[in-house]
Chains A and B, each alone.
Chain A
């Protein structure tokens, strides 16, 4: 294996056992089947479904493997390893984020369901961008959950960036309003707005989110606004509905996939990226200030199937 950077090590560190299991299974599968036959594909299906990839995606992936294998005239199952990786990387890339900073003030609105890791992610982005030399500010627009404001304050201290807040129970749109004014007057480059967790099927909470977004657009006319959805990698197929519903309310510019240091593979991200054609911006790999990495499709897939790369 070639160079390992921090991202790679981190992904590997937590995951070694489970990733290895998955890869070993694929390797065992390949070892046990020299032919690309139905039995092989059936077992491959099981392995992929266990990564939380949706059934439709798994079917499409296997179809694609079959198609490419046929084109190559390959009949050996070894080829499948390389092909799976190739196809997944294809699917996960080529979705540019159009909302990258164009103007002086860039705003990130961080949204998602309860417990996905929004507040932690906000803290980590703040630290990362601060290190990159930008003037960063946090807005505590989760005014609902008990102690969410305090939690963000602590992250603000850790990252050494100011936090705009009004306390629990305040109108989140008003917090965002204040934060935009403060960001403008303090010459801030990046304003990160933490929001309350909301299940996407709660109409009122989704309307509240729409309002926050509206206020942002109105108050920060010259700023570029980026809506980022935080998804927990442990989540199953419901993540697809989450992404679609949030996308319909506040069009998403990117996704942050958290808790990838666990044993979950986050396979559900594949159908989401395909469906919405939006990029994964970051991945979260731990609770530390530095446990946030830019997403890299190739490394993500490598981490998913490490031994395949060795062979390839």
Chain B
């Protein structure tokens, strides 16, 4: 499956490449190129009006001095698009406000956005930061929602407050505060029922909860796949509740996440966290600059490195980065990585973060996690010498390795091929990083000719 973020950047870069191929540009040329940017953004589900404003801004900046008189016109448009996109996404990431006795954090949103899962993820994260969180089951409507919160609460080892049989979320929220105080819990996380922003009764109910427990954080949980309505949904929740931020879920899918741009533009509220999977650890701080880069096809090198650091110790991580940079990454490191993979999340996620990995390269590189078991066995059946220098593995050795690992020679061949590909990829990545350094502040690789 192609990484759709790449599609968007392909389109933007493709359309801008046309700019670079011509010496002098007319206003019409810029308009044509920006039309493709507009289409790409619309396909990414960025709201029509947001796109219109965005394109207008870029046009204003692009037409005239900067573009028409510059020899490096395309480069400058890329830069402007990137800058404006980053600006639209907001400044640096913002932390949660969770100091209080107790501090209340309320999650709200449409049905199926992923509130309950997000509540557990946040509880885990907050607990790891030295707080004592309490999960509160305020979803009294969806069947088994309370049960679901109890199960995920157990998974993250955070107590869950609920009142069995109660149909009154306002009272549940209120009582949970007393419970938290008595039990030394300093952050109360309210999981509310999913509701439509046009549902008057349920929106009023949320306002009542807010009035009675005064949350420090009111977070709107939004599915990254949301379409054009994201703007209206976010606006209504903002008008009724005065949000403090947004949490984006299901970003591990292949939706381009244009909703993130729309919501940001419509409410001005920061996106604080993103959900990247169904496991309780699949939560990351939102980095607006990285998201903008990701949309533009820069990949997400920083997240990748941070993820690696979460699982390895820092020294190991530095060693790994060093090896990647010096292109001395051998099968021992490959094995090391495999063994750390479980801690790092899905391989697909990691691959998606590597810059320069476009859909063509991803084809055939689909990772089946069960294959990893075989891969591990194959490497373990190699001698240390073979692992350091795989090029010495000839036909005879391949046969021995296959026998030793209970696999076939074909599988051994496949692994060696994959390793070669991976090295190639890392070389690309290193070259790209060198390019960034050369270009100083300019963060975009110039679309290749």
Contacts and interface: CB of A to CB of B under 8 A. Distances in A.
Contacts of A151: 142-145, 147-148
B226 interface: yes
A115 B233 CA distance: 17
A74 interface: no
A160 to B, nearest CB: 15
Interface in B128-183: 141-145, 147-148, 150-152, 155
B252 A147 contact: no
A204 B197 CA distance: 35
Interface stretch (B20-28, B59-67, B362-370): B362-370
Interface stretch (B36-44, B265-273, B432-440): B36-44
Contacts of A50: 47-48, 228
Contacts of B1: 200-201, 241, 245
Interface stretch (A103-111, A260-268, A292-300): A260-268
Contact of A150 (B47, B143, B232, B368): B143
Interface string A109-148: 0000111110000000000000000000000000011111
Contacts of B197: 262-263
- The main secondary structure of chain B at its interface with chain A is loop
B233 A263 contact: yes
Interface in B107-123: 110-114, 116
Interface string B93-117: 0000000000000000011111010
A14 B225 contact: no
Interface residues of A, number: 50
A200 B142 contact: no
B357 to A, nearest CB: 14
Given A200-B253, A263-B233, A237 B110 contact: no
A232 B152 contact: no
Nearest to A196: B278
A52 B225 contact: no
A262 B195 CA distance: 9
B214 to A, nearest CB: 28
A205 B223 CA distance: 19
B196 A14 contact: yes
Interface residues of B, number: 54
B422 interface: no
B250 A263 contact: no
A114 B278 contact: yes
A18 B199 CA distance: 13
B198 A263 contact: yes
A51 B142 contact: no
A101 B196 CA distance: 35
A51 B228 contact: yes
Given A238-B254, A268-B227, A146 B198 contact: no
Interface string A177-209: 000000000000000000000011111100100
B373 to A, nearest CB: 13
Contacts of B42: 49, 55
22 contacts: A14-B198, A50-B47, A117-B111, A144-B278, A146-B147, A147-B144, A151-B144, A151-B147, A154-B143, A200-B254, A204-B368, A207-B368, A235-B225, A236-B45, A236-B226, A236-B227, A237-B45, A237-B255, A238-B225, A241-B4, A264-B229, A287-B141
Interface of A: 14, 17-18, 46, 49-52, 54-55, 113-117, 144-148, 150-151, 153-155, 168, 199-204, 207, 232, 234-239, 241, 245, 259, 261-265, 268, 287
Counting from the closest, the 3 A-B pairs by CB-CB distance are A236-B227, A115-B112, A236-B45
